Amino acid sequence: MINRQNYHDIKSYLNYMENIQQAEKSTIKRAWSHLRHLLEWADEKPFPRSPSITPTFPTYLVNYVSNGKRLAPSTIVKCLTQARQFYAYAKTAWQSRYKTISDTWIASLKPNRKIRSNPGLRNHKFYTLDQVMKIAEYDTTNLHLKRAKIAVAMLFCSGMRADALASLPISCVDLENNCILQFPEMGVRTKNYKSSITYLLPINPLLELIREWDEMVRYFPEYCLWYSPISRDNSRLIPTTVAYQGRNSTIQKDVRLICKTVGVAYLSPHKLRHGHVMYAIQHAKTIKDLKAISANVMHSSLVVTDQIYGVLQDIDVKNFITSLEN
């Protein structure tokens, strides 16, 4: 039987996600589906006694079977991520009641080696700088292809999501300070309505492309969209303020088009965001650097960034370890 107080604690956390973190309903629904496993694991025992429960939560998830099926490795990872975030919240919200939960124990809620080595989890797909540069260096007078190049350059340099670019007004692009104002109150559609200033990676060839496009659209009023529509005859940009829902599909089509034209394997526009983070992580030298990267892509904490991007590719691990000196 599920412990009643555990249930109320989970509901309190979900309420915190909705009202304080302003998470979308779909995000909260997924969190609940993952945290239900935590409730079932603890059963009648209160969450503050979690460190003494056997089997451990990671082991429970690995051995969990429903209708003859085990949990997918990706689901196990998400369940453990949600569990860590819940316990971190609980320690702050109910300090006295959760004083038995240590940071060390929370950190132990991670997948075992077999799960972590699953190819589907290890090999993140993302655009590399070489691929992005190949696209950026493609010479064309075609306006549609030029815009497609801009989508690739801006998404890689900024790490913003495609829907943010699709709804970005000219006034939110500040190239003098190499930053983007991702402000929902100015019309930018961000995940969970988060507001932040995003700084561009200092990759000069890409920044030059972005500045050239910026000069073209600056003839329009600053409340018009920066990623402008193109006339049907592909001869001119059209000023508009209408960032209709689903306009990010235009960016997806543009990226697909330029990849096919240039000969780069197509990945979704979101993989440019992954490429931004991986490029930055590979150049980070300190924890402060990693925290800055996390903040720049509007993650709530470094834990989120680490869960998504923290697993380096095998070649990165090899290069890093072999470069260490006494």
The rounded distance, in Å, linking the Cα atoms of 83 and 156 is 31
Q: Is residue 279 part of a domain?
A: no
Query: In the prediction, which pLDDT does 325 show?
Result: 54
Query: In the prediction, which pLDDT does 54 show?
Result: 93
The rounded distance, in Å, linking the Cα atoms of 205 and 296 is 21
Asked if 153 and 252 sit in the same domain, the reply is yes
Tally the domains of the chain. Answer: 2
Q: Answer positive or negative: Cα dihedral of 264, 269, 270, 275.
A: positive
The CB-based long-range contact list for 313-316 (8 Å cut-off, 24+ gap) reads 313/122, 313/123, 313/124, 314/122, 316/282
The rounded distance, in Å, linking the Cα atoms of 164 and 183 is 9
Give 110's contacts (C-beta < 8 A, 6+ positions apart): 58, 80, 116
Asked if 19 and 80 sit in the same domain, the reply is yes
Whichever domain contains 22, its CATH number is 1.10.150
Asked if 17 and 102 sit in the same domain, the reply is yes
DSSP helix, strand, coil percent of the chain (3-state; round to 5): 60, 5, 35
The rounded distance, in Å, linking the Cα atoms of 156 and 160 is 8
Tens of pLDDT, residue by residue over 109-121, are 988 766 555 544 4
Domain boundary among 87, 122, 157: 122
Q: Is residue 294 part of a domain?
A: no
Asked if 92 and 193 sit in the same domain, the reply is no
CB 160 within 8 A of CB 198: yes
The rounded distance, in Å, linking the Cα atoms of 100 and 45 is 14
Where the chain has pLDDT below 50, the residues are 119-122, 311-315, 326
Q: Which helix (H) or strand (E) holds 196?
A: strand 196-199
Domain boundary among 78, 103, 122: 122
Q: Is residue 282 part of a domain?
A: no
* Concatenated DSSP letters of 231-269: -TTSS-B-------TTTHHHHHHHHHHHHHHHT-----T
Secondary structure letter of residue 285 according to DSSP: -
Centroid of chain to Cα 112: 23
* Concatenated DSSP letters of 57-83: HHHHHHH-EETTEEPPHHHHHHHHHHH
Asked if 102 and 138 sit in the same domain, the reply is no
The rounded distance, in Å, linking the Cα atoms of 147 and 163 is 16
Provide the whole-model pTM. Answer: 0.68
Asked if 156 and 21 sit in the same domain, the reply is no
The rounded distance, in Å, linking the Cα atoms of 205 and 265 is 21
Tens of pLDDT, residue by residue over 185-225, are 999 999 878 899 999 999 999 999 999 999 999 999 999 99
Whichever domain contains 235, its CATH number is 1.10.443.10
DSSP helix/strand/coil, 312: coil
- Amino acid in position 229: P
The rounded distance, in Å, linking the Cα atoms of 40 and 17 is 21
- Amino acid in position 138: Y
Q: Is residue 33 part of a domain?
A: yes
Domain of residue 134, residue span? 129-273
